[in-house]
Structure 1
Amino acid sequence: MNWEYKAGGTHLFGWLVLVFFGFSCSTQSFDGMLLVAVQPTNTSGLTVLGENGYVAGSKIVAIHPESPNANPIELTNDFFAATAPELSYDGKRMLFSAQKSVSDKWQIWEMTLSGLQAQQLSHFTEDCISPVYLPGDRFVFSSFLKNDTVKNSFAVFQGKLDGSQIQQVSYDPQNHTALSVLKDGRVLSITQQVYPLVGDDKFMVMRPDGTKLELFCAHNEMEIFRSSAHETNDGKIVFVSENGNTKKSDLVSVDYNMPFHSRNVLSPELAGDFLFVRPGQNGQLLTSYLSESAQEFQLYSYDVEMHVLTEIWQYEEFDVLDALFIQAFERPRNLPSEVNSSEETGLLMCQDINFSGLESMAIDDKQKAQKIEIIGTEGSLGKVNVESDGSFYLKVDANLPFRIQTLSAEGEVIKGPGSWYYIRPNERRACVGCHTGTEISPFNQQPVSVRKDPVLIPVQKTLNK
């Protein structure tokens, strides 16, 4: 009897230990650890979306930086593939993109780090990537689309964190991928034109509702942006850039206030390659680096001032794609939206099409543009005469992609066509001039064009009134 009692007690004790252990694992704190996305080093023969991480066998793990030899905690065991982790502002939840099974498209999921419970947020028929949290319990991501508006490209969507109210917010034939959110609340993306010709990489920003799309920075034509860009606490935007000629990649920064004129290579003396970079702790950067003697991209901390790399962690037969500390961080601004879905148009005003860059307006009258042509994905949307001061004022169909080129009085092209843009319902936009960039202040004068009704685009609408 005593033996049986003790045996029963032993089994009961063992059961309690297992229950306690299981409870501890499901509620353990990940504070101070790192979320790390990895992919198999040899990805040949695997289906790739064209972006690092979106391959079979990719996964998200948690590691402790002070215990690099300990086994990582795998967070996405229930998924065929998972990548692109992003933390909520309180550091308690994670957005990521994943394939539940091999035949699934990539979709957006959210996981609580306390219980590792995952909920699917997107249910699209095409791939969804690059999820990022927004203020107000919302999130933003990219999804592949095929239609006459965006052609074949990744458009930007946003929605609520319960998976409801998901809506498209970008409407141009350009890929918007590798999203991040600046402290000012705008969404920053790597953008590449896909139609009519494939263009170069550039960083563009927009509000979360898709309004105010504009160029943030672009450099030489052969530059390829290999990672999303992230803002540091000292006002720098850091990213990985690859030289299209040499194929060498570097850590690069630009100033938030002067992104066009502040490009700085942070890793000039390092001969290896990089895959990502993010702000780390104590002013240092987290990065993935492949030295000339290594087999895998390993996780490092980088001291910008001393130009010193310190190894944090390596995972045999896996490349480190991304990493971020699990901790609370400052929430970006919650920008209000001017979009009104009941409206069918938006407004666009330009002060002077003959003003370009930092040049003065003192050019010969014979060289000045007298007209503009608005060009859509299927051809011309109309030509408009500009006013005597070079200004124009348009009412444009909402969510209609267009480009603008300037014309002489005889109809010859002077500049353009420029980049793709669109106007969201009820959006009001203004620009200083033609290809002036975002660092030029407007003139302190009222354009002649706004003293009249706006010209309707497509122009054919005017004839129907």
Structure 2
Amino acid sequence: MSVVALGVLVGCSGGSGETSSLGGGDQAEDPVVVDYPVVYVRRTLNRDDDGQLMGDSIFAPSAFNPGAELVLRDRATATAPERVLTEGLFVSDEDAGIVFEGGYDVKDLTVSADGKTLAFAMRAPDIEGRDDDEQPRWNIWLYDFDSAQLTRAISSDLIAEEGDDIAPAFLPDGRIAFSSTRQRRSRALLLDDNKPQFSALAEDLREPAFVLHVMEADGSDIRQISYNQSHDLSPTVLFNGRILFSRWDNMGRVDRLSLYTVKPDGTDLQFYYGYHSQATGSSANGEPSPGAFSKPQQMPDGRILVTLRAPEGITYGGDMVVIDGENFTEAYSEPEQQGQLQGQESLSVQRVITGGGLSPHGLFANAWAFHDGTSRLLVSWSECRVIDPQTELAQPCTEQWLATPDVVPADPLYGLWIYDYEEGTQRPIIQPAEGQMISEAVTADTRPVPQFIPQPIPGIDIDRDLYEEGMAILDIRSVYDFDGEQIADIAALADPLQTVADERPARFLRVVKAVGIPDEDTLDFDRAAFGRDRSQLMREIVGYTPIQPDGSVRVKVPADMPLAISVVDTNGRRIVGRHNNWLQFRAGEIRKCQGCHTRDSEVPHGRADKEPAPAWAGAPTSAAPFPNTEPALNADMGETMAQVMARVAGHPELEGDLSYSDLWTDPAQREKDPSSLLLMTELKTPLPTSLACQSSWSTDCRMVIHYPEHIQAIWDLPREITDDTGAVLDDRTCSRCHSARDAAGQAQVPPGQLDLRGEPSGVNNNFSTSYVELIFDNPTQELSEGALQDVLVQDTDDNGNLLFETDENGELILDTDGNPIPVMVTVNIPRIMNTAGARNSRFFEVFDEGGTHTGDLSPAELRLIAEWLDIGAQYYNNPFDAPVN
């Protein structure tokens, strides 16, 4: 519509229920969309006990907001009569002890491609007298337009209540993809770890993680297909048959909600769009604001329609935005959201402000694309309104009101409209009403059936042996490839005459598994178990594999669990930063990766059609070995060393030890590099794995490191030096030497200002003294009158001026002698160990060659400490081993 017409729209009365000046009941019916049934959710605005409007959060998908109803109109016009499909569905049965109280909730509408079936999520009302964990769950429901039958997809009450099910999407073979907390496969695998079955919490620890599942239309054969540690939301099926969804990457609290795709069987998970485009919303001052891609769906032209909105807020809406994911993976032309906006654009004819404050053109809560050859959308839209302080009534956002200081926004007022973004027209279907909103709507029109992607067949499409083992293959072309660029001369590293093993920085690949965290009803453990930094939660080490000279890896890894990888040196210390994304593998799958990337890199990584060309071409010819390598190891052109070795010797399995053998050097050219073996069993302290795994590492083995049990034991291990007669010449036990008490039990300043005793810390009783001393900054201490005291010095400002105590008016406070009182502060010692990893920790310097403690700890002990630091320096890495509250 024209700018003048839009001005009329935002100036209408707002919420009276009367037809706006743009038309309504008297408007000519649209001949194109008139015959399509429209289904929508009408709900009351959610308010707290004080009557204040409550917001919603994308990160809280299980939120229950009673007071919704599902409504059908046989025609998408303002004059068509409406029918509440869910009316009378929930009836109390006092004899059965089921007395409903309050309303129900409905959301996530979608329609099958043939336009015959509606699917949605609905939660029944609360049941009187039941605890929170006994209340109804979100379920998937189906409505057949021809028969007018409404049924729950999963008929069994027992199975339906196994988890919260939301966001259905129809697959081309009639199955339904959806997001759920039931975590069916993950729960089953917990039994292999001798843990009870539970749905693991998302990484913010607020509610169980929603991940993707598929099921038959009758609710049978439910299968989990995604294994994120936080939420996977809003699946929709693309024309090519892949499932597009919103993934919350929150490992290490990165807090990014971006778009991913996956095949319906869960294989070939790929990033799609927007990982580095988290601030593409707009604010009143023109600055970018946080914006989350909500409810994605594919438009007829192939672009992705989303509602771009603040992740949390009380406005419920944002802007209608289309993403050109076919050509772009990020919003802006340059990194760090600089340059031109090219990956996405708004469909609104006027600017929409999504970052708080007033949006003069209003806000869109939801949009649904027609597939009828037009540029029309069915939208839930609210005009901009403010409160007149004199009358306390809502008024449209005129320029005068927008210019008024401290103007108070009125409640949103979402009605249902047909919005044509090319013609610039906006026509009402349902006028808004005060205290209510149309939160989403769909039409029962037909649309193209997506391509069908068949299930892989073991032995034909995937490796049968791997499938039956529950294993997959990780294939990395070269860890020295960073975003298509070599960080080292890979050809030289691969040539034994140019590089010996000790000169190659990347020696092993470590595979780490996330540990599921139960809710308090399952296990109320002390959250101090996470240690100093909760961001890494808990981790288990699955094992190691050698990195081949060219940086390549090809190894078996367990399927159906969230995994992360790290490149480590010969001592088992991570040499690159942690990645903030979980990898997943399905049984029998072979996942290939070019190489590595830095955490902040915006070069497309993990999306096959957008990645740069690999930096390592592999073998230059066929039927010949790599230069100066074993003649028997003939390569095919383009193969990596790991691929050659797997073809010749079979796929290696992960190992518990850091074991290296020179398999490549041609002994006719030079002597092979010496083998090395850093054994876990060389530890004289409790081993962080089971007895069975100590003798033979298998696919079920894990390293689970607890600070009190495994790291403190290193400090407490007796290290007496004796002569031939057994007389003790020296006692180098770590916790005996590094103690606040000498051999006679008298107070002393611990050597190096480091106390390694395992007794509870007086500073933080959640942890031992040694943990606090190593992981936190600690004050320098001195001995005064037989007692340890913190060293205090007078504080200074940024210019080096001494500081004195002052009152609220800034006047000096004087002591009894009339002198100013100095501000005294402690002199802190920077922490010796860093939760960011071993290479970020000062601790290892004293054990290096020439250090003050060279040889005092064994290589196996230093390896264990490095592993513990690299995975996050947690106090415990199994919640079921931690103290309970």
State whether TM-score is above 0.5: yes
Between the aligned partners of 1:233 and 1:260, the Cα distance in structure 2 is 20
What's the secondary structure of 2:588's corresponding residue?
coil
Residue 61 of structure 1 pairs with residue 71 of structure 2: yes
Q: Distance in 1 between matches of 2:112 and 2:227?
A: 27
Aligned sequence identity (%): 21
- For residues 214 and 457 of structure 1, the distance between their equivalents in structure 2, rounded to whole angstroms, comes to 24
Structure 1 contact 65–312 (Cα < 8 Å) conserved:
no
Matched letter for residue 337 of structure 1? Q
Give the alignment partner of residue 447 of structure 2, picking from 289, 307, 329: 329
The alignment covers a number of residue pairs equal to 435
Q: CA deviation at 1:109?
A: 1.6
2:641 to 415, 425, 448: 448
User: Is structure 2 residue 510 aligned with structure 1 residue 373?
Assistant: yes
Q: Deviations over 1:383-439 (max 9, x none)?
A: 333222222112111112101233455634313224101211111211222242411
Q: Distance in 2 between matches of 1:362 and 1:41?
A: 55
Summarize the Cα distance change of 1:71–1:57 in structure 2 as closer, same or farther, 3 Å threshold: farther
Alignment of 1:153-172 (within 5 A): 153-172=209-228
Deviation at 1:127, TM superposition (A): 1.3
Query: CA 1:124–1:31 in 2, change beyond 3 Å: closer, same or farther?
Result: farther
- The aligned amino acid for 1:173 is Q
Work out the CA distance in 2 between the residues paired with 1:60 and 1:198: 36
Give the superposition deviation at 1:190: 1.3
Gapped regions of structure 1 (runs ≥ 5):
1-29
Residues 413, 379 of structure 1: alpha-carbon distance in 2 compared, 3 angstrom cutoff = farther
More deviation in 57-66 or 86-95? 57-66
> Which residue is equivalent to 2:363?
273
State the SS of the aligned residue for 2:584.
Answer: coil
Name the structure where helix makes up a greater proportion of residues: 2
Over 3 Å counting, the alpha-carbon distance change for 1:238 and 1:117 in structure 2 is same
Structure (1 or 2) with the larger CA radius of gyration = 2
Question: Which residues in structure 2 correspond to 1:327-406 (within 5 Å)?
Answer: 327-338=445-456, 342-357=468-483, 359-361=484-486, 363=488, 369-377=506-514, 378-406=539-567
Mark the CA change 1:380 to 1:314 in structure 2 (over 3 Å): closer, same or farther.
Answer: farther
Provide the C-alpha distance between the structure 1 equivalents of 2:250 and 2:182, rounded to a whole number of angstroms: 12
Residue segments in structure 2 that go unaligned for 5+ positions in a row: 1-33, 91-103, 128-135, 155-159, 191-198, 202-207, 280-289, 331-341, 353-358, 386-395, 397-411, 459-466, 491-502, 515-538, 598-604, 618-637, 658-692, 699-885
For 1:450, what is the secondary structure of its paired residue? helix
| SS of residue paired to 1:174 | coil
For 1:367 and 1:289, locate their aligned partners in 2 and report how far apart those are by CA, in whole Å. 60
1:313 aligns with 2:430: yes
Stretch of structure 1 that moved more, 343-352 or 285-294: 285-294
Q: After alignment, is 230-239 or 285-294 more displaced?
A: 285-294
- Written as runs of structure 1 = structure 2, the 5 A alignment for 1:30-429 is 31-44=35-48, 50-51=60-61, 54-63=64-73, 67-77=77-87, 78-79=89-90, 80-103=104-127, 104-122=136-154, 123-145=160-182, 150-151=200-201, 152-193=208-249, 197=253, 199-218=255-274, 219-222=276-279, 223-225=290-292, 227-243=294-310, 249-261=318-330, 262-266=342-346, 267=348, 269-270=351-352, 271=359, 272-280=362-370, 281=372, 282-293=374-385, 295-305=412-422, 309-316=426-433, 317-338=435-456, 342-357=468-483, 359-361=484-486, 363=488, 369-377=506-514, 378-408=539-569, 411-429=573-591
Taking the aligned partners of 2:200 and 2:477, their CA distance within structure 1 comes to 28
More strand by share: 1
Shift of 1:250: 2.1
Structure 1 stretch displaced more, 444-453 or 139-148: 139-148
Shift of 1:198: 6.3
2:730 corresponds to which residue? none
Q: Deviations over 1:218-272 (max 9, x none)?
A: 2334444252111112121110122569998322222232241442231362333
TM-score by length of 2: 0.45
CA shift digits 1:9-64 (9 cap, x unpaired) = xxxxxxxxxxxxxxxxxxxxx95121212321234469988349952122221236
Kept in 2, the 8 Å contact 1:38–1:53? The answer is no
Partner of 1:24: none
Q: Secondary structure at the match of 1:413?
A: coil
CA contact (8 A) 1:41 1:319 kept: yes
Once the 2 structures are TM-superposed, how far is the Cα of residue 195 of structure 1 from its aligned partner? 5.1
3-state SS of paired residue (2:642) = helix
Distance change >3 Å, CA 119–CA 319, structure 1 → 2: same
Which segment drifts farther, 305-314 or 250-259? Answer: 305-314
Are 2:545 and 2:655, in contact at CA under 8 Å, matched by a contact in 1?
no
SS of the aligned residue for 2:256 comes to coil
Q: Is the 8 A contact 1:226 1:240 kept in 2?
A: yes
Aligned residues of 1:187 and 1:206 also touching (Cα < 8 A)? yes
